[in-house]
A = this chain, B = another copy of it.
Amino acid sequence: MTEMGKHARAAAEKLSMAPTKQKDAGLIGAAMVIRANVDDILAANAKDLAAAKEKGLSGAMLDRLLLDEKRIEAMAKGLEDIAALPDPVGSKIAEWDRPNGLHIERIRVPLGVIGIIYESRPNVTADAGALCLKSGNAAILRGGSESSHSSRIIHESLVEGFMAANLPEHAIQLVPTTDRAAVGEMLAGLNGNIDVIVPRGGKSLVARVQAEARVPVFAHLEGICHVYVDKDADLEMARKIVMNAKLRRTGVCGSAETLLVDEACAATHLPVLVKDLIDAGCEVRGDERTRAVDARVKPATEADWSTEYLDAIISVRVVNGIEEAMRHIAHYGSHHTESIVTANQKTADRFLATVDSAIVLHNASTQFADGGEFGMGAEIGIATGKFHARGPVGVEQLTSFKYVVRGTGQIRP
């Protein structure tokens, strides 16, 4: 691991100066190698799947692990999409002149070495590695043992593509899953050779990384996202947004987990919203007033308000207007993504200004919490911390900056 850290730092220095064309050629080359290796990738994945079945892994786990030709093609296409993004490195964030004639520029530079710790999805190897390369960073990847065969051949394919473009051999390194101490060493910062950790996986992985890491972490522990339907909400709009926010995909971090309905419109709006959800197969767990509108509503316990179901389940509560809604969100939320549905601009502005979440929306679904939907291209994850990166973490968020000052002999009085 120590050697790996040194190699990563040396590669990062080279990558920080690598021209855009070279990085893009590496990514396009890696996509070609992945397509050429499709049979070998499928064979490696079959080994992982067989071992996982023997271990008795759940159907959802097996699905995360599974690669088929379509998923491998999506992975290759993903690399090409990242190649097509603008290169953040060297771009000017701001520039200004000083009265003494100094010209100051703020220029994006890479962060350095990014450590990625992930679980069973083997495609993270390609996605995360490619985002690091595009942003001029070296990557140290530690995948789950379940996907070790698949990750290894995907990693080899990337390295082959990158080296064909004369990129450093150690731009992306894969930690052998047999090294049990590796995660601990990565969280400690690998002797100063890892600058940031990105965990990709379930809550227990993220919690461990957040608790133990001695370097910055870009992550969200959970996405307990809320939709608040205000008394001035258009019912048809609220129906569309609630259904989409909860049920479009239930397993993503931006899916809504709690619906808050203003008591001033509960009589008209609540029964319709609850019926929509239950008729669509969603379990509704409600407070007393919600249970009164539909016999199929189950009772919500205190724990429900802070539970991320990631499933077709929603908790529903009637609140006394926007202020109680915001207090509920502040108390039970996870600072991820919240939406207000209202036709009243003033109410919306109060909500958008006050709610302390990475993403706040007015009259739109929480499922837009995604780097691609924001126009930022692929993302390595969504961060709920307030430092450096907040919200979707794309290639720009994987950079820092420096001040470049141009003078003509100025000295300070």
Residues of A within 8 A of B (CB): 16-17, 90, 96, 98, 102, 104, 109, 111-112, 195-196, 216, 234, 237, 240-241, 243-245, 248, 348, 352-354, 356-365, 367-368, 373-375, 386-388, 390-391, 400-412
Contact = CB atoms under 8 A, between A and B. Distances in A.
20 contacts: A16-B356, A102-B373, A104-B375, A109-B386, A111-B386, A195-B386, A216-B216, A352-B404, A352-B406, A356-B402, A358-B403, A362-B407, A363-B408, A364-B407, A373-B412, A374-B403, A387-B400, A390-B400, A391-B402, A391-B403
Contacts of A360: 402-405
A405 B104 contact: no
Contacts of A391: 402-403
Given A388-B388, A400-B386, A412 B244 contact: yes
B98 A387 contact: no
Q: What are the nearest 7 A-B pairs in CB distance?
A: A364-B407, A244-B411, A386-B400, A367-B412, A237-B409, A361-B405, A388-B388
Give the dominant DSSP class at A's interface: mixed
A362 B405 contact: yes
A401 B386 CA distance: 7
A402 B244 contact: no
Contacts of A90: 353
Nearest to A361: B405
Contacts of A375: 96, 98, 104
Nearest to A409: B237
A84 B387 CA distance: 26
A359 B405 CA distance: 7
A411 B365 CA distance: 5
Given A387-B196, A388-B387, A357 B411 contact: no
A400 B389 CA distance: 9
A359 B403 contact: yes
Given A102-B368, A248-B411, A412-B373, A359 B402 contact: yes
A368 B405 contact: yes
Nearest to A12: B356
B96 A411 contact: no
A402 B358 contact: yes
Specify which of A17, A237, A373, A405 lies most central, judged by the most chain B CB atoms within 10 Å of its CB. Answer: A405
A217 to B, nearest CB: 10
Nearest to A408: B363
A241 B411 contact: yes
Nearest to A345: B406
A334 to B, nearest CB: 14
B403 A17 contact: no
B400 A364 contact: no
Contacts of A96: 375
Nearest to A244: B411
Contacts of A353: 17, 90
B354 A17 contact: yes
